[in-house]
Amino acid sequence: MLRISRCTVNPSMRAVFGVRCMSSAMAKATQGGVTSYWTQAEISEIYHTPLMELVHQAQLQHRRFHNPREVQLCTLLNIKTGGCSEDCGYCAQSSRYDTGVKAEKMVDIETVMAKARQARANGSTRFCMGAAWREMKGRKSAMKRIGEMVTRINDELGMETCVTLGMIDEAQARQLAAAGLTAYNHNIDTSREHYPNVITTRSFDDRLNTIKNVADAGIKVCTGGILGLGETEQDHVSFLHTLATMTPHPESLPINRLVPIKGTPVEATMATLVDQTRKLSFDAILRTIATARLIMPQSIVRLAAGRYTMKEPEQFLCFMAGCNAIFTGERMLTTMCSGWDEDKQMLEKWGMTPMAPAPAPPQQPVRQPVRRAPQPQPEAVVM
């Protein structure tokens, strides 16, 4: 049953103009301020709002918290490709799958700086660096070099920095914070329930633990997932619930659309899947983005891998639903990426401008640790 918040519109006017009153969950999202107290039922209610209304409300929410003209341009560089020991079922860089990606050594610092300069010259304000590793344990010299990269990109180019290096412990997170890292990316990937169908070599809770270490060190958390891994809409709700019950919400929330890679188990599964409810529709992407915007209104919602597979009107709808960041540049790890010129033209056409970089982080981290909010009881029906 749809729970309805207090509606002040005269019933006869509702009938004449087709005015719909908001569900209580939608009212909570749009009128109740930022909160980490969400039930899956509330998130499901928002997710299943009629699509026109959902996108409309998400756009209004977006305008309450962000400049709707601004979009953050980020560029991602793979600083260490392939040879990863993990078994993430979608990934071209896992050494367990025959995807044609060869293991390479870590890129040297001058190459990284040249790529960062190129990104900045093209309007990117955030530079992200990814390494195909399970974790940073035992990688002292790599940690040191990555710290140098972060510091130089901050100091010489004034860009925000983000790295994704696999699992890190508390000391490693503090080391990256001391180097001036803006954000650390560690995706939860999908729902807790669907997760074991995709990855077995590290648990969902391992991921949450790294996220906690990052936040405790005062680094902004970048975490999101991949849509199209054979999950259901309920998995989208559960995935969003994990993110929205973090305190604080992730600063950055990447939404990736699966790019199926030949040789990976997910590609094989999706190619033969008969259960239509597990095939990703564009509507489901839009619902996930709009719901994220409504329940995590301050987060930067980042349209990440797979954007190049979307037609321009589809991307436009993602922005209408609350996206305000894109990856742009030459590559998106091992997949293609829409280029700077193409993106600049598209955004200019829509009247959008690149977001300025955030101020440098404070010397002494002051951020509150990420913790899961206790869950409230379902609300009573309110008419």
Q: Catalytic residues, which ones?
A: 84, 88, 91, 128, 162, 222, 302
Q: Half-sphere exposure (CA, 13 Å, Cβ side) for 20? A: 15
Residue 180 CB neighbours (<10 A): 19
Shortest CA distance to 254 belongs to which of 189, 175, 208?
A: 189
Helix 140-152 / helix 109-121 crossing angle, nearest 10 deg: 30
* Region binding ligand SF4 by CB under 6 A among candidate stretches 22-30, 80-88, 249-257, 342-350: 80-88
Should residue 84 be labelled a site residue for ligand SF4 when binding is judged by CB under 6 A?
yes
Distance CA 299, CA 310 (A): 22
Should residue 132 be labelled a site residue for ligand SF4 when binding is judged by CB under 6 A?
yes
Distance CA 154, CA 209 (A): 27
Please give the angle made by the CA atoms of 358, 364 and 368, to the nearest 5 degrees. Answer: 80
Please give the residues from 362 up to 381 whose contact with ligand SF4 meets the rule CB under 6 A: none
Distance CA 274, CA 277 (A): 9
- Residue 207 is encoded by which pair of tokens? 């991921």
Should residue 185 be labelled a site residue for ligand SF4 when binding is judged by CB under 6 A?
no
7 is in an annotated binding site: no
Is the sign of the CA dihedral 145, 356, 333, 265 positive or negative? Answer: positive
Task: Find the shortest distance in angstroms from Cβ 198 to ligand SF4.
Answer: 10
Should residue 267 be labelled a site residue for ligand SF4 when binding is judged by CB under 6 A?
no
Asked if 324 contacts 72 with a C-beta cutoff of 8 angstroms, the reply is yes
Nearer Cβ to ligand SF4 (143/321): 143
* Region binding ligand SF4 by CB under 6 A among candidate stretches 38-46, 86-94, 207-215, 218-226: 86-94
Task: Find the shortest distance in angstroms from Cβ 352 to ligand SF4.
Answer: 30
Task: Find the shortest distance in angstroms from Cβ 95 to ligand SF4.
Answer: 8
Nearer Cβ to ligand SF4 (201/368): 201
Task: Find the shortest distance in angstroms from Cβ 189 to ligand SF4.
Answer: 8
DSSP H stretches of helix in 66-122: 109-121
Phi/psi region, residue 69 (left: phi>0; alpha: psi -120 to 50; beta: rest), is alpha
Should residue 93 be labelled a site residue for ligand SF4 when binding is judged by CB under 6 A?
yes
Should residue 166 be labelled a site residue for ligand SF4 when binding is judged by CB under 6 A?
yes
Query: Three-class SS of residue 356?
Result: coil
Q: Half-sphere exposure (CA, 13 Å, Cβ side) for 290? A: 30
Should residue 78 be labelled a site residue for ligand SF4 when binding is judged by CB under 6 A?
no
* Region binding ligand SF4 by CB under 6 A among candidate stretches 89-97, 221-229, 231-239, 313-321: 89-97
318 is in an annotated binding site: no
* Region binding ligand SF4 by CB under 6 A among candidate stretches 50-58, 83-91, 207-215, 308-316: 83-91
302 is in an annotated binding site: yes
21 is in an annotated binding site: no
For 140-160, b where at least 16 C-beta lie within 10 A, e where not — what string? eebbebbbebbebbbeebebb
Rg of the chain's alpha carbons, rounded to an integer? 21
* Region binding ligand SF4 by CB under 6 A among candidate stretches 59-67, 82-90, 119-127, 214-222: 82-90
Should residue 86 be labelled a site residue for ligand SF4 when binding is judged by CB under 6 A?
yes
Amino acid identity of residue 320, one-letter, is M
Task: Find the shortest distance in angstroms from Cβ 258 to ligand SF4.
Answer: 12
Q: For ligand SF4, how many residues bind (rule: CB under 6 A)?
A: 9
- Binding site residues for [4Fe-4S] cluster, as ranges? 84, 88, 91
Mark the binding-site residues for [2Fe-2S] cluster, compressed into ranges.
128, 162, 222, 302
Interacting residues toward ligand SF4 by CB under 6 A: 84, 86, 88, 91, 93-94, 132, 134, 166
